[in-house]
């Protein structure tokens, strides 16, 4: 347990590449996004394939939000207010987010929350 005491460091690793072993969880799959397509259609193929994974991730976010605000009002806010922000985003991102929500079946407000995560968590 003392190893968890910061600043825990180890000797510089060698021989890790090509990736394998317990620190390697898998290769990353390649996809193509065709920028010639209308923005609402660009992500359709990718999101159809990943819709279960994104639904799982959104569910965990909701569970954490419910732990902080058990009334469910936080998620209500996300579902009702954040879709309004999407309409204010610059083109083509507004259309792309709507396309992502449509292809994944995840509510638009929750897709917006995922896309705004970085800005929110810089505090």
Partner 1 sequence: CTSVVAEDSNGNLIHGRNLDFGLFMGWDMKNKSWQITEQLKPLVVNIDFRRSNHTVFKSTGFAGYAGMLTGMKPHSFSLTINERFSMDGGYIGIIEWLLHHRDAMWMGFLTRTVLENATSYEEARSLLSQTKLLAPAYYILGGNQTGQGCIITRARTESLKPLELNLKQGRWYLLQTNYDHWKAPLFLDDRRTPGMKCMNQTLQPNISFKTLYDVLSTKPVLNKLTTYTTLMEVSKGKLESFVRDCPNPCMPW
Of 88, 113, 81, 90, give the one whose Cα is nearest residue 100.
113
Q: Rounded to an integer, what distance in angstroms lies between the CA atom of residue 82 and that of residue 110?
A: 8
CB 96 within 8 A of CB 42: yes
Of 67, 85, 66, 86, give the one whose Cα is nearest residue 75.
66
Considering beta carbons, is residue 57 or 74 the nearer one to partner 1?
A: 57
Of 105, 107, 89, give the one whose Cα is nearest residue 39.
89
Closest approach of Cβ 73 to partner 1, in Å? 18
Considering beta carbons, is residue 28 or 71 the nearer one to partner 1?
A: 28
Q: Provide the mask over 23-62, with x wherever binding to partner 1 is found by CB under 8 A and - wherever it is not.
A: xxxxxxxxxxxxxx------x--xx-xx--xx-xx--xx-
CB 103 within 8 A of CB 42: no
Considering beta carbons, is residue 22 or 71 the nearer one to partner 1?
A: 22
Closest approach of Cβ 88 to partner 1, in Å? 7
Segment (H or E) for 14? none
Closest approach of Cβ 16 to partner 1, in Å? 4
Positions that interact with partner 1 (CB under 8 A): 3-4, 6-17, 19, 22-36, 43, 46-47, 49-50, 53-54, 56-57, 60-61, 63-64, 67, 85, 88-90, 93, 96-97, 100, 104, 106, 111, 114-116, 118-123
């Amino acid at each position: 347990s003392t190893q968890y005491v910061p600043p825990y460091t180890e000797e510089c690793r060698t021989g890790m590449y090509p990736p394998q072993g317990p620190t390697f969880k898998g290769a990353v799959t390649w996809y193509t996004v065709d920028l010639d397509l209308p923005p609402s259609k660009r992500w359709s193929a990718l999101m159809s394939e990943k819709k279960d994974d994104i639904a799982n991730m959104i569910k965990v976010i909701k569970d954490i939000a419910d732990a902080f605000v058990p009334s469910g009002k936080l998620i209500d806010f996300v579902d009702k207010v954040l879709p309004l922000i999407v309409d204010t985003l610059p083109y083509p991102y507004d259309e792309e987010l709507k396309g992502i929500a449509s292809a994944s079946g995840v509510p638009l407000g929750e897709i917006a929350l995922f896309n705004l995560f970085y800005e929110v968590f810089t505090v």
